[in-house]
Amino acid sequence: MVVAAAVAGGFALGGVSPFVPTVRCDEVVLHFKSGSDIEGNRVVLDAISAPARDLSRAVRDPASAPFQYWLKAGIAIRASRVPVTITVPKPWRDRVRIVWGAPGTPAASVRFARCPSSVETWNGYSGGFLLRAKSACVPLIFAVADRRATLRFGVGRTCR
């Protein structure tokens, strides 16, 4: 019973590590020539085309409680041989979940599989943010190999 509750709560056995869903290559919905092709997006670590800094307000979706506010925000990842991980910082994990891919699994961290290509392309994925409140200034940590960057996203508000 306790094991089932731990797994259902998003934690693996052993070190109580959070579950990190992997977005597969077959979940790509669009292709872009460059990361700057998506209006308003910011290129991070030369591998991720992240949503704009200031985003619209989330809409209420009671079916996704306790994270009952949803904001759609697509993302693109440069086709490469290196996986990419996006993580909600620990202090924010009780307020925000992220989800990309189809169907996608809301989580505190999402890994994008290596999706190599013989041509230069950026793979676009649908998804976005789930929040407990309708607005927030959400930080996300982006990781590509040993490089890291943190960006803030103003969901329904401006981040300072």
User: How does pLDDT run across 45-95, given as a tens digit for each residue?
Assistant: 999 999 999 999 999 999 989 999 999 999 999 998 889 999 999 999 999
Residue 102 lies in a domain: yes
Residue 150 lies in a domain: yes
Query: Is the pLDDT confidence value at 2 over 50?
Result: no
Residue 151 lies in a domain: yes
Burial of 8 (0-12, 13-18, 19+ CB in 10 A): exposed
Single pTM value for the model: 0.87
Structural domain of 132 = 20-155
Q: Contact, 49 vs 42, CB < 8 A?
A: yes
Residue 13 lies in a domain: no
CATH number at residue 113: 2.60.40
